Amino acid sequence: MLSQRLKESRKNRKLTQDELALKVNTTKSTISNYENGHSTPSNDMLILLSNALQITTDYLLGTSDNPTLTEDDEFQAFANDPDMERWYRQLPDNDEEDLRKLRQMWDIIKSDSKNK
């Protein structure tokens, strides 16, 4: 199921295997192996793929038929983005007030992107 949904989701985003590989820092042949069922992505790679394709890991794994990220899923994808690591590396150590502020920042970012 994962191989089929990965390929379908990549094509829905109009990405080539090369383009998806660049987004998740791997090779075209690795993406091809995932899509053909010759290998299975690690948990970390699964998260990178779902973030790059803007779908849930549950959808890729077949535990959900809904590929759409909820607002909370989108926020978690943002918070888990390796490119953002320097900003949130200490996130679990923050208190509730800091987490509330981060959520407000996320809401502003989402609002700005919708207005473009």
Q: Indicate if the pLDDT at residue 101 is higher than 70.
A: yes
Question: pTM (2 decimals)?
Answer: 0.60
Domain ranges in the chain with CATH number 1.10.260.40? 2-61
How far is residue 65's CA from residue 8's CA, in Å, rounded to a whole number? 13
Least confident of 7-21, 60-74, 79-93: 79-93
CA 62 – CA 75 distance, rounded (Å)? 22
**25-29, 33-37, 78-82: least confident range:** 78-82
Best CATH choice for the domain 2-61 from the list 3.30.1450.10, 2.60.120.590, 1.10.260.40, 3.40.50.150: 1.10.260.40
d(CA 3, CA 60): 8
pLDDT of residue 85: 60
Q: How far apart are CA 78 and CA 50, in angstroms?
A: 12
Q: What is the pLDDT of residue 22?
A: 95
For 39, list phi and psi in degrees, rounded to 5.
-150, 165
